Amino acid sequence: MPDPPSGYEAEADDQRWMRRALEEAAVAGELGEVPVGAVIVRAGELLAAGHNLTHTLGDPTAHAEAVAIRRAAQASGHWRLLGCTLYVTLEPCAMCAGAIVLSRMPRLVLARLIRKPACVARWPIWCAIPS
């Protein structure tokens, strides 16, 4: 894993925001979706949230991370999500990992890695897994 960004300190709010991502995952589960949730935070404020909507929308790209990234870009008025942290309940797939990199988000916090490494282990971004 790469070194953390310069000036990085463990965020006291990581668990709070991960709980919010888990709430999004629960909404996905209630809809019959794979229960994955994501939230994007900038400067301690919620910028966007999302959960899986692939079945609901009939859209194979409507993963929690992609939904949250689209909403964050719309809310911020820019596709570059500099200074943001993405909290997601499951390790991102290749598509979502690519979207995270393209959005320029510098920090990712995961609730859980999957058994077969997806993309995070091979990708140069600082990831935190709160205990």
Q: Are 48 and 2 in contact (CB under 8 A)?
A: no
* pTM score: 0.81
Q: Which of 24, 33, 65, 91 is catalytic?
A: 65
List pLDDT tens digits, range 7-59.
545 566 898 999 999 999 999 999 999 999 999 999 999 999 999 999 999 99
In the prediction, which pLDDT does 131 show? 47
65 is catalytic: yes
In the prediction, which pLDDT does 39 show? 98
List pLDDT tens digits, range 114-129.
655 555 555 555 555 5
Query: Distances from the Cα of 36 to the Cαs of 57, 79, 89, 93, 123, in angstroms?
Result: 15, 23, 6, 12, 21
Q: Which of 106, 96, 104 has the alpha carbon at shortest distance from 127?
A: 106
Cβ contacts of 65 within 8 Å, gap of 6 or more: 36, 38, 50, 86, 88, 92, 96, 99, 100
